[in-house]
C-alpha cells in the first residue's frame, strides 16, 4: 500500500474512533438528565421519615419569608400526635401531607409521629420540630390541638420559619388566646357540620333512643363537637321523626385523651362496651381511633343490634362496615397544599382559617375540608334524610340558634339568637339535654 494511502486510512480510522466516543459521551449525558422524585415508604414503627381559596373567619397580613427557586427541593415538616397510620386523626393529616407531595412537584414531607408524653416521655413537640429542621424542613405543621403551647413556643423561637397549627387559635385576633406572631397561622375545618350530620344518622337509626358519645379529653373543641352531634340528633328526632326530645338520651363518656394510653386513660374499648351493654345501640366516636366501631361490630356478630360512627378518617369505615352508619372526616390536603405553596413562594401570611365544607360537594377531595361518607349500615330511608339535612345546611340551616341553654340551665343563646364564632368555638359547657361531664375534675 502506498504511504500516502496508509496515512489516509489511519486518519479516517482515527476520525471514526473520535466520532464513536463523542456519541457515547452524549448518550451518557442525556441519561443523566432524567428527573427523579423521592417517596419513602414508612415502616410500622417509623419515627421520622420522608415520604389556598376557601371560606375563612379571619385572615392576616403577608410576611416575608425566603422564596425557593423552582429547582430546589422544598421540605416541609409535620408533627402528629398519634401513629401516622392510626386509621383516624393522624392518618388523615399524614395523607394531607402526601397530597401536597403529589400535587406540588419538588416538595418532600418529613414527619415525626407519636408526639405525646406517653410515647415520648420527657420530649416536647418543640424538640421534635427541631429534629425536622435538622432534616432541612423549611416550614413546620403542628397537627393537634394538644400541641398548642409547643406550637406557640416554637413559632416564637423561630420567627423565620412558617408555622401552621391545625385546630389552634393563637393567630385568631378575635379569639381569647391571640399571640402576635407573624409566622404563626391556624387552620381548622368546620367539623361541627360533619358532627351534626353524624347526629342525624344516629337518631334516624337508633331503636332504643339511646345514643352514646365516646369523647376524648374535655376542652373547647371537644365540647362543641359533642354538642354538634347532639344538636343534629335532636333535630332529626324532633323534625324528621316527630318525637319528643325528652325521649332521646344522649350521654358523653370521656376517656381522658385523644386515644388510649394504658394506665393513663380510660380504655375506649371498655367504655364502648359499657354503652352497648347499657342499652345504647348507637355510639358516635369523638376519639382519634376506631374502638367504638370495632366493638359495635363484635356486638353485632354476637347477635345485638348495634351501630357506630367513627371519626376523622374517610377510610375508617372498613374496620366494621356491617355496622358503620358513616363517618365525618377531615380532608386536609387542599388546605395544606395552599399553605406549603405560599411558604415555598415566600408569600406566607398569618391567618386564622376556620373553613366551611364545600356545599356544592362536601366529599370533593380537591375542594372540601370536611366531608361525610355514608356507611353500609345506613338504611336507604335514613340516607335520603341525611342528604336532605345536608341540603338544609347548605341552604343556611344553623342549629347553633337559640333558644339554647348550657347543661346547668344557664342561657347560652336567646330565642332566635344566632351564635357568633366565639360562642361556638369557646362553648363553656355541654348543652341542656346532654348527660356527662362538661369540665375536667
Q: What is the pLDDT of residues 348-379, one digit of tens each?
A: 999 999 999 999 999 999 999 999 999 999 99
CA distance 343 to 335: 12
Residue 173 lies in a domain: yes
CATH of the domain at 91: 3.40.50.2300
What are the φ/ψ torsions at residue 335 (nearest 5 degrees)?
-70, -40
What are the φ/ψ torsions at residue 146 (nearest 5 degrees)?
-65, -15
Q: How many CB atoms lie within 10 A of CB 416?
A: 8
Q: Cell for 203?
A: 337518631
CA–CA–CA angle 38, 112, 133 (5° rounding): 75
Per residue in 42-64, pLDDT (tens digit) is 433 344 444 333 333 333 433 43
Per residue in 229-242, pLDDT (tens digit) is 999 999 999 999 99
Judge whether 266 and 273 are in contact, CB under 8 Å: no
Residue 209 confidence (pLDDT) above 70: yes
Structure confidence at residue 1 (pLDDT): 42
Sign of the dihedral through C-alpha 237, 241, 244, 248: negative
CA–CA–CA angle 245, 251, 254 (5° rounding): 155
CA 368 to chain centre: 12
Same domain, 151 and 273: no
Judge whether 74 and 106 are in contact, CB under 8 Å: yes
Same domain, 115 and 222: no
Q: Cell for 220?
A: 373547647
- Please name the residues in contact with 158: beta carbons below 8 A apart, sequence gap of 6 or more: 133, 140, 183
Among 66, 57, 108, which residue's Cα sits nearest to residue 342?
A: 66
Q: Cell for 222?
A: 371537644
Residue 363 lies in a domain: no
Residue 157 lies in a domain: yes
Per residue in 263-322, pLDDT (tens digit) is 999 999 999 999 999 999 999 999 999 999 999 999 999 999 999 999 999 999 999 999
Specify the pTM: 0.85
Structure confidence at residue 71 (pLDDT): 56
Residue 370 lies in a domain: no
Same domain, 294 and 383: yes
Judge whether 248 and 209 are in contact, CB under 8 Å: yes
CA distance 362 to 369: 8
Same domain, 270 and 136: no
| Averaged pLDDT score across all residues of the chain | 88
CA 167 to chain centre: 9
Per residue in 310-350, pLDDT (tens digit) is 999 999 999 999 999 999 999 999 999 999 999 999 999 99
Same domain, 145 and 89: yes
Structure confidence at residue 25 (pLDDT): 33
User: Residue 79: which domain range?
Assistant: 48-191+333-344
Residue 167 lies in a domain: yes
Report the pLDDT averaged over residues 133-145. 97
Same domain, 84 and 97: yes
Q: Which has the minimum average pLDDT: 38-42, 343-347, 429-433? A: 38-42
Q: Cell for 295?
A: 366493638
What are the φ/ψ torsions at residue 272 (nearest 5 degrees)?
-65, -45
Q: Provide the domain count of the chain.
A: 2
CA distance 202 to 182: 43
Structure confidence at residue 316 (pLDDT): 97
Residue 187 confidence (pLDDT) above 80: yes
Report the pLDDT averaged over residues 388-412. 98
DSSP assignment of 386-430, as one string? HHHHHHHHHTT--SSBSSEEBTTS-EEE-TTPBPPHHHHHT--SP
Same domain, 221 and 254: yes
Per residue in 86-109, pLDDT (tens digit) is 999 999 999 999 999 999 999 999
Structure confidence at residue 167 (pLDDT): 93
> Which DSSP state fits 64?
-
72 confidence band (pLDDT: 50, 70, 90): confident
Residue 359 lies in a domain: no
Same domain, 410 and 297: yes
3-state secondary structure 21-76: HHHHHHHHHHHHCCCCCCCCCCCCCCCEEECCCCCCCEEEEECCCCCCCCCCCEEE
Residue 21 lies in a domain: no
Among 210, 215, 211, 160, which residue's Cα sits nearest to residue 184?
A: 160
CA distance 373 to 310: 11
Same domain, 152 and 257: no
Same domain, 340 and 250: no
Same domain, 140 and 215: no
Amino acid at each position: 500500500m502506498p504511504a500516502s494511502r496508509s496515512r489516509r486510512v489511519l486518519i479516517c480510522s482515527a476520525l471514526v474512533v473520535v466520532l464513536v466516543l463523542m456519541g457515547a459521551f452524549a448518550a451518557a449525558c442525556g441519561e443523566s438528565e432524567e428527573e427523579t422524585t423521592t417517596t419513602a415508604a414508612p415502616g410500622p414503627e417509623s419515627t421520622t421519615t420522608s415520604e389556598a381559596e376557601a371560606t375563612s373567619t379571619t385572615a392576616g397580613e403577608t410576611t416575608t419569608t425566603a422564596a425557593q427557586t423552582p429547582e430546589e427541593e422544598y421540605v416541609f415538616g409535620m408533627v402528629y400526635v398519634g401513629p401516622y397510620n392510626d386509621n383516624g386523626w393522624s392518618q388523615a393529616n399524614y395523607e394531607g401531607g402526601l397530597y401536597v407531595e403529589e400535587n406540588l412537584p419538588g416538595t418532600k414531607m418529613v414527619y415525626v409521629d407519636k408526639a405525646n408524653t406517653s410515647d415520648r416521655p420527657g420530649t416536647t413537640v418543640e424538640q421534635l420540630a427541631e429534629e425536622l429542621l435538622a432534616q432541612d424542613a423549611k416550614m413546620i405543621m403542628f397537627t393537634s390541638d394538644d400541641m398548642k403551647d409547643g406550637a406557640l413556643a416554637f413559632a416564637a423561637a423561630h420567627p423565620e420559619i412558617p408555622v401552621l397549627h391545625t385546630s389552634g387559635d393563637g393567630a385568631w385576633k378575635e379569639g381569647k388566646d391571640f399571640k402576635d406572631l407573624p409566622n404563626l397561622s391556624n387552620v381548622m375545618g368546620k367539623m361541627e357540620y360533619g358532627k351534626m350530620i353524624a347526629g342525624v344518622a344516629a337518631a334516624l337509626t337508633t331503636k332504643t333512643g339511646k345514643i352514646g358519645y365516646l369523647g376524648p379529653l374535655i376542652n373547647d373543641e371537644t365540647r362543641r363537637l359533642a354538642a354538634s352531634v347532639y344538636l343534629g340528633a335532636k333535630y332529626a328526632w324532633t323534625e324528621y321523626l316527630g318525637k319528643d326530645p325528652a325521649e332521646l338520651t344522649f350521654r358523653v363518656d370521656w376517656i381522658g385523651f385523644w386515644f388510649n394510653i394504658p394506665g393513663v386513660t380510660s380504655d375506649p374499648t371498655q367504655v364502648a362496651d359499657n354503652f352497648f351493654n347499657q342499652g345504647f345501640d348507637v355510639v358516635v366516636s369523638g376519639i382519634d381511633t376506631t374502638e367504638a366501631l370495632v366493638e359495635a361490630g363484635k356486638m353485632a356478630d354476637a347477635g345485638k343490634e348495634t351501630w357506630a360512627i367513627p371519626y376523622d378518617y374517610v377510610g375508617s369505615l372498613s374496620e366494621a362496615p356491617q355496622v358503620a352508619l358513616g363517618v365525618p372526616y377531615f380532608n386536609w390536603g387542599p388546605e395544606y397544599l395552599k399553605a406549603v405553596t405560599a411558604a415555598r413562594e415566600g408569600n406566607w401570611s398569618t391567618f386564622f382559617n376556620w373553613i366551611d365544607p364545600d356545599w356544592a360537594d362536601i366529599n370533593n377531595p380537591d375542594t372540601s375540608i370536611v366531608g361525610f361518607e355514608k356507611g353500609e349500615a345506613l338504611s336507604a330511608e335514613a340516607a335520603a334524610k341525611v342528604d336532605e339535612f345536608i341540603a338544609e345546611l347548605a341552604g343556611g340551616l344553623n342549629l347553633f340558634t337559640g333558644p339554647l341553654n348550657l347543661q346547668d340551665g344557664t342561657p347560652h343563646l336567646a330565642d332566635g339568637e344566632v351564635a357568633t364564632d366565639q360562642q361556638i368555638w369557646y362553648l363553656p359547657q355541654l348543652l341542656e339535654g346532654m348527660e356527662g361531664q362538661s369540665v375536667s375534675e
